[in-house]
Amino acid sequence: MRTATAVVAAVAAALVTAAPAAAAPVRPTLPAPTGHDRLGTVELHLVDPARTDPWTDSPAHRELMVSITYPARDTEQHPAAPWLPSGVAPAFVQLVSQSGIDLSAVPLPDSHAHTGAPAAGRHPVLLYSPGYGSVRELGTAQVEDLASRGYVVVTIDHTHEAPAVQFPGGRVEPGKQPTNPDIGKALDVRVADTRFVLDQLAVLARGGNPDAEHRALPPGLDRALDLSRTGMFGHSLGGNTAASVMAVDARVAVGANLDGAIHGPVADSGLDRPFLLVASQDHDRTTDPSWATFWSHLRGWHVNLKLTGSAHISYTDLQPVLGQLVAAGTVPADRAKPLIGTIDPDHSVAAQRAYLAAYFDLQLKHRDSGLLDGPSPCFPEVEFLR
């Protein structure tokens, strides 16, 4: 079974930099989006006055940071956003270094989205939730590709579960998870976080500004959100979160789970709306009873795919980043294999992007590419599990 702690535990166990002292540091890049749209991005600081933070003893209201990535225009006038915020990158490196792993010599990439660029057009909305103990930025390769294909994608950091979340002014809130994670509580918190974000997106779509500091928003962003066509996807516990949100909130019409076990009531209640399950090499309905139970209770359109040769962390940006570091000799291949498997990193990214886009295009845009009808010679690594 894929445990929700797999993201951080696996990264801390296997990400090792081993470049010779004299070698120039290798700067990995994120794969370029494949769609036609240029990209803009903006961060929102959201405060929920109806909830106190569930992970602290403080009476402070629940705070979240989200990023919105969207089709944009005039991007050349706006700077590219970093992959990780300045306050999150050191915290992530420190987290890995606690296991004796030094990532300090690896320069981190930029994203392909431009901060504050004007939004263009009107598009379906997708929400993204990361794995347990992870950060929203680790889904950037998938997020950017979907946005370049005509989606507004909203990524959510779950404060104090994530190892670090940077707020306006440079304040960084660290993770506050117990030694033995309470996954049931974490899932409940994530569902409440996501539903609150949906509320704030509705405010934004009506022309309001939900940002706590009321910072200027990109022109046209309100008109870009078509909330009548909303889906959600996520990695690991983030995929479980997508299913759990759908079970209690009809605003999310379709969902996808990238290699996450199914905790909570949704495993038994199932869903009556479309849902996509994508598995890594050693994960399927025969090895994960939660998937078997959930699958048996799905009443809407549903498909289960497996990416041959992949591993659990293949469904994050570490697939392309580690692949490049392995090729450069910076990370030993045997250390990367438990994270990203044996699949060619470029093939992995291409297949994931193609099938996610085909799924959301089918369900939210009613465009059927035929890719989900069965195996394709273009993507021999993708297996359909019946």
Residue with tokens 């445990």: 3
**CATH code of the domain covering residue 340:** 3.40.50.1820
Do residues 317 and 139 touch, judged by C-beta distance below 8 A? yes
Q: What is the pLDDT of residues 356-386, one digit of tens each?
A: 999 999 999 999 999 999 999 999 999 999 8
pLDDT over 50 (residue 127): yes
Range of the domain at 159: 6-367+376-384
pLDDT over 90 (residue 102): no
Q: What is the pLDDT of residues 8-63, one digit of tens each?
A: 455 444 433 333 444 567 899 999 999 999 999 999 999 999 999 999 998 999 99
The amino acid occupying position 116 is G
Single out the residue of 351, 335, 281, 234 nearest to residue 11, CA to CA.
335
Residue 326 lies in a domain: yes
Residue 206 lies in a domain: yes
Q: What is the pLDDT of residue 327?
A: 87
Confidence bin at 336 (pLDDT 50/70/90): confident
Coil vs helix vs strand at 98: coil
For 65, the enclosing helix (H) or strand (E) is strand 61-72
Terminal CA-CA length for the chain: 19
Residue 1 lies in a domain: no
CA distances from 154 to 81, 102, 143, 194, 297 (A): 15, 31, 8, 10, 28
Tally of domains in the chain: 1
**In sequence order, which residues have a C-beta less than 8 Å from that of residue 145 and are 6 or more positions away?**
31, 33, 34, 35, 353, 356, 357
Q: What is the pLDDT of residues 150-190, one digit of tens each?
A: 999 999 999 999 999 999 999 999 999 988 999 999 999 99
Residue 251 lies in a domain: yes
* Residue with more model confidence, 1 or 329: 329
Q: What is the pLDDT of residues 253-310, one digit of tens each?
A: 999 999 999 999 999 999 999 999 999 999 999 999 999 999 999 999 999 999 999 9
Q: Over range 124-143, report the average pLDDT.
A: 96
Residue 65 lies in a domain: yes
pTM of the predicted model, to two decimals? 0.93
Residue 79 lies in a domain: yes
